[in-house]
Amino acid sequence: MEYFENKYIFPILFGMLLMAMGNSCSTDNSLDPEARTYTETMTLIPSDTLRIPIGYRSNVYSKYVKKVEINGGAYLGVVNENTNELEFYALSEKDNDFKVQFKVEGPNGVGQIRGFEFMSDSTLLIGSTYRIRLYVTDLEGNLLETLRTDIVERKGNPSIQLYYTQQPLMFDNARADAFVYARGSSDYSEPGKWSGTMFLKIPDNNDESAEHVFELPSHLYEYVHGAYFSHSSHVMVNDRYIVFGIAFYNNLLIYDLDDNVLSEKEAGSKYFGDALSWDNPTMDGHEEFYVTSNSYRELAYDEENQLLYRLAYQGVDYIGPDGQRRNWDNKPPSVIIINSDFEKVGEVDLPVNTIYTRMYFTHDGKLYLSLNHPDNNPSEDQMVFVGFKPEEL
């Protein structure tokens, strides 16, 4: 079914025009909170809304959503942790919604699902709560193959596999390589959180040949930002690049799969650059430090327009005017627009406490962001998204 309706739903603020800049990366490795200059040539315009009715056992919130193509049809795939199902919602009238049910235990058991990726039109790669395995299944939930992810040890701190919308499983179709986010486990209040390799690569379903890749630059080792800054985001671009964003870091890290070379490109906000380290970490101050600091989170790639989007968030007072604590969903968001040369070309403000930026995807040349913000949720029965279309200025 198709759930679109064409109408503008709210005004958005356009970014200010800043001065032109060079594209070279800085050689100074220290953190700089000042915003970098850039040339603004693109913006985003709200163009349509997408309403997806859900069943009584589903939820308008999911920690893992992903737009996928199956046999030429476009679907929004959603992990339902309550039912251990993948829900696929058709994004065109010619296709139908469907679900894939998974067993937790038994011959087809995969544990409780947390993430997925398509390896072909009929084959899924599944990540679950059993975080030393990945599972290859068909679209009936039948287990085809089990891949061990603990055969090759990570150097330094042991790895932990994570699966979220902004930290998806990835499959390189050009090389038949699977990538799972497997960063090191360490103390949030000590240096070393951002060091070593970030991904486990499994070539052609051969877990014996797996290797840990994408080693971070050594200068990131020293920075301490606490538990709430421990998240990162990544996306695969054109089956060639893994683009990696760190919550406090102005630059994006770009890993070229052709030559295994890591580079950096400036991609910060017009309001700020890097978020400075936490000088004196305390046991119970992690959330407050994050909420009051500037930060970055989600990455999304629009294949049709060859554009990359990065979400930025301005820090706010921990206690709001109403006397209530704020959380990371209350920080004013903006969308940074990055072109195919990994150059920033625009930034657009989003309404505060309106867009639930943790649920997003790209489709039909647009960036879709959820309107089911917990503080202003328009529906408990529908997932509601607004589509933003890029336009040249």
Mean pLDDT score across all residues of the chain = 93
Cα end-to-end span (Å), the chain: 34
* pLDDT for residue 110 is more than 60: yes
Q: Where are the alpha helices (DSSP H) in 26-147?
A: none
Total-model pTM: 0.91
**Do strands 113-120 and 123-128 pair parallel, antiparallel, or not at all (unpaired)?**
antiparallel
- Residue 119: its H or E element: strand 113-120
Q: For residues 168 and 148, give the distance between their C-alpha atoms in angstroms, rounded to a whole number.
A: 18
Distances (CA, A) of 28 to 25, 32, 109, 244: 9, 9, 50, 20
Are 245 and 233 a contacting pair, CB within 8 Å? yes
pLDDT band at 26 (very low <50, low <70, confident <90, very high): very low
List CB contacts of 215: < 8 A, sequence separation 6 or more: 196, 197, 198, 262
d(Cα 194, Cα 224) in Å, to the nearest integer?
Answer: 9
Which pLDDT belongs to residue 186?
85
Phi-psi region of 390 (alpha: psi -120 to 50; beta: other; left: phi over 0): beta
Q: Which residue has the tokens 């014996």?
A: 208
pLDDT digits (tens, 9 = 90+) for 281-320: 888 899 999 999 999 999 999 999 999 999 999 999 999 9
Under the phi-then-psi rule, with left for phi > 0, alpha for psi from -120 to 50, and beta for the rest, what region is 371? alpha
Q: What is the pLDDT of residue 166?
A: 98
Task: Express each pLDDT in 252-263 by its tens digit.
Answer: 999 999 999 999
pLDDT in tens, 58-70: 999 999 999 999 9
User: What whole-number distance in Å separates Cα of residue 78 and Cα of residue 58?
Assistant: 10
Q: Which CATH number is associated with domain 4-392?
A: 2.120.10.30
Contacts of 56 (CB under 8 A, 6+ apart): none
Q: Where are the domains of the chain?
A: 4-392
